[in-house]
């Protein structure tokens, strides 16, 4: 899956209220339907509580598509028993579930096989004073099921921090969440039936999706996919990345040459429509093109070639779409050697975009 487009968004968003009445909380916000006869759900504080005094509750949506993403934030006040289904995605051919394990440290991803994620610290067993856990479950059209916790893809050491299995055999298209054991406070449940999105492809915040993902991370993706001469042959895909950390220590760990993309700022000086339902947003994006060589002239020239490929790729593929995605100006600063022992050349390309956004899916 790729980064969510402007026509791909959360189709259902439950923020702790009645799951059957979500239409008043934003445009195109489809409500969930109660599955079965369970009636043990109610608003408790800022959450929808499902208790197992009777039969519990499951809430569902029947999609027409084949790939889904569900993100839930919940906590246990009474631990569900082992194999209790908490989240389920079924596209008719494949099915995936997040299940409780009977304790407060683990959850299980179940498909054709099952794997368990540990060290979740869902609460203290003696008091059930739990903390909310964020769980993202995705299912692709081909049946690949992925489970992320805390919206983390990789930990601080670069180790993969998600679970993945092939889905089991599906039965009919449905998406559901809830519990029929224990007592669970469901703080938030977000669903998109537009695709299987990772935390880097669709954020729970439309603001973050519009800025970091659809702008900055999409540029990273575009440059990695480029077939232009230097980007294709001289720059490894792993060396084209977002510049979360551009310290000298981090730069030295990245194979050179490299391209770091940074979203410097964004602003919307004038709303296109009254009330701000449509806005024109300006994005300032920086690209740091880093090369290394004992012959500084060669490093300089290679960096300039890579910068040229970056500009041409972005100009032709993101800057010529009229008032929906226009490149309005650019500036490039060329590095030069100042010290005898200097071997790293960093050219700096600054680009400003203007995009027109629909602000109703909030």
Is pLDDT of 130 > 70? no
* Fold (topology level) of 206-358: STM4215-like (3.30.2000)
Is pLDDT of 295 > 90? no
* Fold (topology level) of 12-192: Jelly Rolls (2.60.120)
What one-character-per-residue DSSP string does 14-60 give? ESSS-TT--TTSSTT-PPPEEESS---EEEETTEEEE--SSS-EEEE
Give residue 188's pLDDT.
Answer: 96
When mean pLDDT is compared across 24-38, 55-69, 240-254, 275-289, the lowest value belongs to 24-38
Instruction: Please identify which residue in the block is written with the tokens 């609460």.
Output: 123
pLDDT-based confidence at 359, cuts 50/70/90? confident
Is pLDDT of 167 > 80? yes
Question: What's the average model confidence in pLDDT over 50-57?
Answer: 78
Give residue 230's pLDDT.
Answer: 95
Do you know the residue count of the chain?
Answer: 362
Mean pLDDT estimate for the chain: 88
What one-character-per-residue DSSP string does 74-107 give? EEEEEPPPTT-EEEEEEESSEEEEEEE-SSSS-E
State whether residue 160 is helix, strand or coil. Answer: strand
Range list for CATH 3.30.2000.30 in the chain: 206-358
Residue 32 or residue 343, greater confidence: 32
Q: Kindly state the percentage of the chain with pLDDT values over 70.
A: 90
Question: What's the average model confidence in pLDDT over 68-97?
Answer: 95
Give residue 163's pLDDT.
Answer: 94
Range list for CATH 2.60.120.200 in the chain: 12-192
Q: Kindly state the percentage of the chain with pLDDT values over 90.
A: 59
pLDDT in tens, 56-81: 899 999 999 999 999 999 998 888 99
Residue 237 neighbours by CB under 8 Å, 6+ apart: 224
Give residue 39's pLDDT.
Answer: 62
Alpha-carbon span 347 to 342, nearest angstrom:
14
When mean pLDDT is compared across 32-36, 183-187, 283-287, the lowest value belongs to 32-36
Alpha-carbon span 93 to 66, nearest angstrom:
9
As separate numbers, helices (DSSP H) first and strands (DSSP E) second, the chain gives 5, 21
Is pLDDT of 155 > 90? no
Its pTM stands at 0.88
Six token digits for residue 345: 């050349």
């Amino acid at each position: 899956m790729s980064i969510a487009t402007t026509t791909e968004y959360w189709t259902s968003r439950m923020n702790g209220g009645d799951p059957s009445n979500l239409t008043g909380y934003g445009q195109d916000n489809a409500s969930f339907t109660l599955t079965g006869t369970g009636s043990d759900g109610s608003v408790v504080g800022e959450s929808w509580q499902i208790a197992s005094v009777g039969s519990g509750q499951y809430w569902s949506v029947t999609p027409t598509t084949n790939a889904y993403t569900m993100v839930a934030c919940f906590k246990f006040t009474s631990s569900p028993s082992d194999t209790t289904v908490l989240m389920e995605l079924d596209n008719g051919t494949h099915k995936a579930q997040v299940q409780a394990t009977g304790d407060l440290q683990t959850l299980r991803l179940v498909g054709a096989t099952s794997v368990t994620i540990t060290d979740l610290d869902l609460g203290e067993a003696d008091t059930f004073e739990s903390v909310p856990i964020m769980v993202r479950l995705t299912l692709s059209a081909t049946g690949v099921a992925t489970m992320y916790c805390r919206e983390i893809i990789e930990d601080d050491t670069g180790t993969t921090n998600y679970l993945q299995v092939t889905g089991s055999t599906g039965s009919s298209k449905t998406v559901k969440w809830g519990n029929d054991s224990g007592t669970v406070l469901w703080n938030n449940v977000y669903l998109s039936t537009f695709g299987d999105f990772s935390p880097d492809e669709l954020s729970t915040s439309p603001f973050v999706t519009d800025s970091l993902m659809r702008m900055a991370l999409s540029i990273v993706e575009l440059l990695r996919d480029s077939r232009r001469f230097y980007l294709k042959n001289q720059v490894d895909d792993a060396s084209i990345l977002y510049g979360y950390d551009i310290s000298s220590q981090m730069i030295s760990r990245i194979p050179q040459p490299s391209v770091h993309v940074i979203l410097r700022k964004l602003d919307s000086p004038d709303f296109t429509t009254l009330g701000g339902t449509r806005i024109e947003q300006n994005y300032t994006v920086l690209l740091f093109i880093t090369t290394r060589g004992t012959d500084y002239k060669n490093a300089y020239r290679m960096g300039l070639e890579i910068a040229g490929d970056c500009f041409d790729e972005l100009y032709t593929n993101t800057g010529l779409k009229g008032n929906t995605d226009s490149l309005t100006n650019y500036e490039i600063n060329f590095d030069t050697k100042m010290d005898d022992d200097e071997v790293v050349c960093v050219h700096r390309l600054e680009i400003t975009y203007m995009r027109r956004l629909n602000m109703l899916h909030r």
